[in-house]
Amino acid sequence: MTDLEHPSLAPPVSSVGIVGWMRQNLFSTPLNAGLTLLAVGLIYFLLVPLFEWAVWNADWRGSDQSDCTSGGACWVFIRARLDLFIYGFFPTSEYWRVDVVFALLAVLIVPQFFDRFPRKGWIGLFTLIGFPIIVYFLMMGGSFGLEPVETGKWGGLILTLVLAFVGIVAALPIGIVLALGRRSTMPVIRTICICFIELWRGVPLISVLFMASVMLPLFLPEGVNFDKLLRALIGIVLFQSAYMAEVIRGGLQAIPKGQYEAARALGLGYWKSMSLIILPQALKLVIPGVVNTFIALFKDTTLVLIIGLLDILASVQSAIVDPAWRNVSTEGYLFAAFSFWVFCFSISRYSQALERKLQTGYSR
Amino acid sequence: MSEAIEESSSAGDGLMIEMVDVHKWYGDFHVLRNINLAVEKGERIVICGPSGSGKSTLIRCINRLEEHQRGRISISGVELTDDLKNIERIRREVGMVFQHFNLFPHLTVLENLALAPIWVRKTPRAEAEEIAMNYLERVRIPEQAGKYPGQLSGGQQQRVAIARSLCMNPQIMLFDEPTSALDPEMIKEVLDVMVELAHDGMTMLCVTHEMGFAKTVANRVIFMDEGQIIEENEPEEFFTRPQHDRTKLFLSQILEH
């Protein structure tokens, strides 16, 4: 071994600390430096005025238009009309019933975010089946000494949530049955499922809602009439279940043939092999697609405004045109958009957590 | 591999599988032609032949993963027809091990094993899990019970698959090329389990190219080509004095190296 003296090199450019990080990631070449400066400029010119308008110069306190004087956002409007946005035209004395629904939903959802919560499965099942029944009796009234509230008075956030929740809870099982039916070896069942799916996928949701609200009563005999909200719900559920079926069918097709064969070779019948072997794997594969459909459904509920149901967006709109308030449409729409975003983003985050949890480390 | 197994109680114990003039077509392709086969209780039969000769199709007809179009197949006296009840009854008594294991990836090893006893045989969960642990010990991987199949090696997965079939306490075991998808160093651990099973008197039908296994374990070797049974003999005779040219060619191709 020889003892060669190494020539001493210049010390390496710092790659640690804030300056080092910036040098590596933001200013590594002249082009990158230019782009960084451009981005910073854009952020400055866009976000600073937005921040000034929405927070710095905004009016937060007060009760009517005269309190909005500073020229920024008039959040007083949202505060003043919040009851309308949340409860719709529900009688003020009965607001507590809606509050109970919100509270119950929150209490039931919390366990789902913990890995090991006692009886988590049963709570989940209750949320899907028992909870809607409780909500039905609580909101409709007319029994247990509760004052009846007709569905025409439901509105705002609670109406949006009812539409979305029922749509999601009912469309998934119907979608599963349709997807299995479409892959059935029995020609009659397969044909029925294909016709159903293609029919509902081929029409826009607006026309479905319109049919349900305007056309259907014309075909019903005189005197027979059922609730407008119920008709809209059935329309939404059938429409969304057709989409759901196709998403789930994709998952069923991705399961290797060997899984079906192994289940059958062990003596499991059709329903047992589907529910124990095939569907758990297929549904896990299609979580992204199913959640996509859920989120689309959540936002599509706004279309009920066309048949005169006031969901959260429609109630915001009705408040904007109120002559008591001027120039509040930006605030109103931002509030509506933010409400939707909170729910859709929560659904998305939950589904990602679920996907991670169900990962069992297999490659196929 | 272990020493050759002594001739177990000879014929007459009861006919387990009977195939008479069985034919099958895939569209125009005639996969099985005039198959006649009788398997006694405790017999160990190895089926070999070139790929596409119908070996797998033949044993898959026995538990109706494939349908035959002509002829008659009976398992322990029960004939395989379109009757779903009969098919499920037969499947409970016939275990099958696949080339690609086909374990259920979303369940742990123990859940894979206990599933069929619980849901098909209606065994209480605790008892089913006890049975499952017993068989896991027999295939020498009890320590893997809590893992998912994706975390095991190929050889371990195939042993789990064998144990999964055994948990149903079947009368017949079908093996469809059980070692073909394995790395060479894992073949022995799977064959050892199969040899032990043969020692215990299990009725076995095995599609395989492991000629060493055939020599030590089988009572009969069946050679198939183009959907027909060409030759059928005791392993000693089969390997030393094959009758047909096609058999000779096949044996020379697989034994030459």
For residue A12 the two structure tokens come to 């390496």
For residue A317 the two structure tokens come to 């709109």
Nearest to B134 by CA among B145, B124, B146, B122: B145
What distance in Å separates the CA atoms of residue B152 and residue B160, rounded to the nearest whole number?
Answer: 10
Asked if B235 contacts B218 with a C-beta cutoff of 8 angstroms, the reply is yes
| Token pair 């044996």: residue | B251
Rounded to 5 degrees, φ, ψ at B228 are -120, 155
What distance in Å separates the CA atoms of residue A13 and residue A23, rounded to the nearest whole number?
Answer: 9
Which residues of chain B from 73 to 92 reach within 8 Å of chain A, CB to CB? 84, 88, 91-92
| Token pair 């006031």: residue | A310
Complex ipTM value: 0.89
CA distance B80 to chain A (A): 14
Lowest mean pLDDT among A13-17, B157-161, B170-174, B178-182: A13-17
Count of A-B CB contacts under 8 Å? 70
Chain A neighbors of B96, CB-CB under 8 A: 262, 265
CA distance A360 to chain B (A): 7
Chain B neighbors of A262, CB-CB under 8 A: 96, 98, 102-104
Nearest to B80 by CA among B98, B62, B97, B94: B62
Residue A303 DSSP class: G
- Is A265's CB within 8 Å of B94's CB? yes
- Identify the contact set of chain A against chain B, taking CB-CB distances under 8 A: 256, 258-259, 261-269, 272, 276-277, 280-281, 284, 358, 360-364
**pLDDT at residue B2 greater than cutoff 50:** no
**Which residue from A258, A267, A284 is facing B100, i.e. has the nearest CB?**
A258
Rounded to 5 degrees, φ, ψ at B32 are -120, 130
Chain B neighbors of A258, CB-CB under 8 A: 98, 100, 102
Residue to mutate among B82, B109, B110, B115, with most A CBs inside 10 A, is B115
What distance in Å separates the CA atoms of residue B174 and residue B203, rounded to the nearest whole number?
Answer: 9
Chain A neighbors of B66, CB-CB under 8 A: none
Q: Identify any residues that bridge with B73 across adjacent strands, giving them in sequence order.
A: B19
Domains of chain A and any CATH numbers: 18-56 (no CATH), 149-358 (1.10.3720.10)
Which residues of chain B from 146 to 175 reach within 8 Å of chain A, CB to CB? 148-151, 164-165, 168
Length of chain B (residues):
257
Q: Walk along chain A (364 residues) and give the pLDDT tens digit of each residue.
A: 556 667 677 766 666 777 888 888 788 888 888 998 999 999 999 988 888 888 877 777 777 777 777 777 778 788 778 888 888 888 888 788 888 888 888 888 888 777 777 777 788 888 888 888 888 888 877 777 777 777 778 888 888 988 888 888 899 999 999 999 999 989 999 999 999 999 999 999 999 888 888 777 777 776 666 788 888 888 899 999 999 999 999 999 999 999 999 999 999 999 999 999 999 999 989 988 898 889 988 888 888 888 888 888 888 888 888 887 777 888 889 888 999 999 999 888 888 888 888 876 554 4
Q: Is B177 exposed, middle or buried (0-12, 13-18, 19+ CB in 10 A)?
A: buried
DSSP-assigned letters across all residues of A41-86:
HHHHHHHHHHHIIIIIT-B-S-SSGGG--SSS-BHHHHHHHHHHHH
Interior angle at CA B191, CA B238 and CA B146, nearest 5: 160
Rounded to 5 degrees, φ, ψ at A337 are -60, -45
Nearest to A257 by CA among B245, B66, B243: B66
Asked if B46 contacts B254 with a C-beta cutoff of 8 angstroms, the reply is no
Nearest to A210 by CA among A236, A240, A246: A236
Does the pTM surpass 0.90? The reply is no
DSSP-assigned letters across all residues of A149-183:
--GGG--HHHHHHHHHHHHHHHHHHHHHHHHHHHT
